[in-house]
Amino acid sequence: MGLLDRLAGLLGLKKKEVHVLCLGLDNSGKTTIINKLKPSNAQTQDIVPTIGFNIEKFKTSSLSFTVFDMSGQGRYRNLWEHYYKEGMAIIFVVDSSDKLRMVVAKEELETLLNHPDIKHRRIPILFFANKMDVRDALSAVKVSQMMLLETIKDKPWHICASDGLKGEGLQEGVDWLQDQIQAMKI
């Protein structure tokens, strides 16, 4: 059983679905993290793989995930923004070892937070400061500063240092998300 199935079971969410968007630049570690979280029998469905960008959707017993990259696909942006509406929680993955592209990640986060389908909703956002194992990776505190997370006042957010390869830090993040989803009383 994956971490998320346990989470769903604890929450008694067998009937309801929570849509979680997993976002971040390409190569930040989204697929690696999600693969650690999902149960082996999760149904994966690649959608729109033919037009140049990947959106992956899969379901656990009650959590429905949509994973996509936010960089390099500007011309497809309006297609993936279509999924924002159904998102009830966000996992945003940052590559802590990629200082050069952190500014791009910050800009993508800003664009996301200003989107009309996100802006006025109290969606919980879990940040993973991923690739903590890499030498010279920035700390979660430093990532949080560079991403200007303190300026997010109208949504609950949390940042966890993670090592997607070993799965370290993921449980802490999922625990936080569980509390937030529970508080949403869906």
Residues 6+ apart with CB under 8 A from 128: 29, 33, 91, 92, 93, 94, 159, 160, 161, 162, 164, 169, 170, 173
Site for ligand G3D in 45-104 (CB under 6 A): 69
Q: Residues 154-173 vs ligand G3D: string with x where CB under 6 A? A: ---------xxx--------
**Is 182 designated active site?**
no
Beta pairing class for 18-24 and 89-95: parallel
Q: Residues 2-41 vs ligand G3D: string with x where CB under 6 A? A: ----------------------x-xxxxxxx---------
Among the listed ranges 38-46, 82-90, 125-133, 139-147, the one in contact with ligand G3D (CB under 6 A) is 125-133
The minimum distance between CB 41 and ligand G3D, in angstroms, equals: 20
Q: Rounded to whole angstroms, how far apart are CA atoms 135 and 68? A: 27
